[in-house]
Amino acid sequence: MNNLLTYPNPILPGFYPDPSICKVGDDFYLVTSTFAYFPGVPIFHSRDLIHWEQIGNILNRDSQLPLDGAGISQGIFAPTLRYHNGTFYMVTTNVSNSLGNFIVTAKNPAGPWSDPYPLGAEGIDPSLFFDDDGTCYYCGTKPRREGARYFGDNEIYIQKLDLGTMTLAGDSYPAWHGALRGVEWPEGPHLYKKDGWYYLLISEAGTAHHHAVSIARSKSLSEPFEGYKGNPIMTHRHLGMDYPIVNVGHPDIVETKNGEWWMVLLASRPYGGYCRNLGRETFLVPFRWEDGWPVVNPGKGIVEDTVTTPDLPPAVTAKVPAKEDFNCDTLPLHMMHIRNPIRENYSLSEKKGFLLLRCGKDLISSSGRPSYVGIRQQHFSFLFETSLEFHPASTNEQAGIVIFQSDAFHYQCLLGTDSSTSVVTVLRTKDGITETICETALTDHCPRLTLQLRADRQELSFSFSTDGNTYTTAAEKLDGRILCTDAAGGFVGNTMGIYATANGSESETFAAFDYIQYVETE
């Protein structure tokens, strides 16, 4: 262990939940959930477990990821990434489509990945395990087969998977029901084999404050698993609601070439009260085996905001630039749409150095396919900025910036027209009801504008500039607490992005954005 250096947690800040990790040689690969965002399931590469570079999005075609009408916290749940005999496998659930549980495969983790192989498996949170003889097993979560006694009364089950036909084979076996009596939501299972034992690592008690990690083991995949007497092996529920890292769970584990064991898992960082605007993030924590069971972060037993680095050579990875100027042929990998984009509503080629967004018919407050490109909020306090050229043809057409939690909870700052002059409008959508916070009329038509969103922890402010130097405040001290999962529900964190809308009308008007910038200010 390198005792000189520490790394900051989370290793993937912002909305990167449900991490799954695998190792191939000296390389580590990691994926996370994306729910109703497109493209789906980002995949990252690292050589030191600390510095991660996104190398692709596994589900980047509509045929792989149909999201029509999906709620923002529906879509893709809990992917698992595994590697076996020259092939990468990613298995996950699309809860908003008949695909259900499915697998995609690739020889290169950066892609391309195959179209989905639907499995017809019950439940959610699928995982794969390859035994010593090459046999593949599917491990999933579903309500107890004898009948659930309450909502979330689940079983973890195991069944063989025929890789030749990509179909489940034989009978499934109910391996475990979680550690605690009467536990809710045993889920997120992963199987491993070590020293002749099969280990089953799961989460239980839901994804909120009582989230916990438990483990069981067995000598066989077709007999009962024995829960560890020291369960749960990781939780923060005993640390109180005001602890800076909460909701710890959904782990996956990996061994380095030096024999160290590490766990990736999700957690949240509340701020401004028990508010989790960043959603569930990916953290890293060490553990070791004692008497056949894991001890997580020995001597401390918690997830910390800084931890001693793994005993691996430091790696350098390309960082996401603070400013994206759209001098590119395709959108950067970390940018996302809400549901499947309408392709003809976007262009990077028509005006060099600009991203053009058509004023879409679907509103961002709908379950449709709005003209939106967003990035994840990754810090408590930040500046988000864009500059746009926009010539609205009617009063229905607006374009600008959004901070988005869900279709029912978000803020917008948009440039439009009232036919005689340009108007900057700030809107708040709360509990599905949209209201105008303020409107600022400019002295004349202003086809070019710079828009800024500033977050000072839970206080949000919007401002604009006609010359890029002098800024006018459009709205300030807006309450950011409505943009957390505790107010809005669901499983996602906030994104900020650029948006163009015709407010329910058809339109041929495009807004031209020449950059977006995101920087931490705290």
**Which residues are known to be catalytic?**
18, 187
| 191 and 139 Cβ atoms separated by less than 8 Å | yes
The closest alpha carbon to 215, from 261, 244, 185, 251, belongs to 251
* Angstrom distance (rounded) from CA 438 to CA 435: 9
Pairing mode, strands 433-441 and 422-430: antiparallel
Q: Rounded to an integer, what distance in angstroms lies between the CA atom of residue 513 and that of residue 354? A: 5
366, with CB counted inside 10 A (0-12, 13-18, 19+), is middle
Distance of alpha carbon 305 from alpha carbon 299, whole angstroms: 16
* Residues 6+ positions from 197 with CB-CB distance below 8 Å: 217, 218, 219, 292
Stated length of the chain: 522
Burial zone of 427 (CB within 10 Å; 0-12 exposed, 13-18 middle, 19+ buried)? buried
Q: What are 449's two structure tokens?
A: 């504008």
For residue 498, give both structure tokens: 């650029």
Taking the C-alpha atoms of residue 404 and residue 388, their distance in angstroms, rounded to an integer, is: 19
Task: Tell me the DSSP string of 94-161.
Answer: ETTSTTEEEEEEESSTTSPPPPPEE----SEEEEEEE-TTS-EEEEEEEE-TT--SSTT-EEEEEEEE
> Between the CA of residue 167 and those of 127, 137, 170, 349, what are the distances in Å?
14, 11, 10, 43
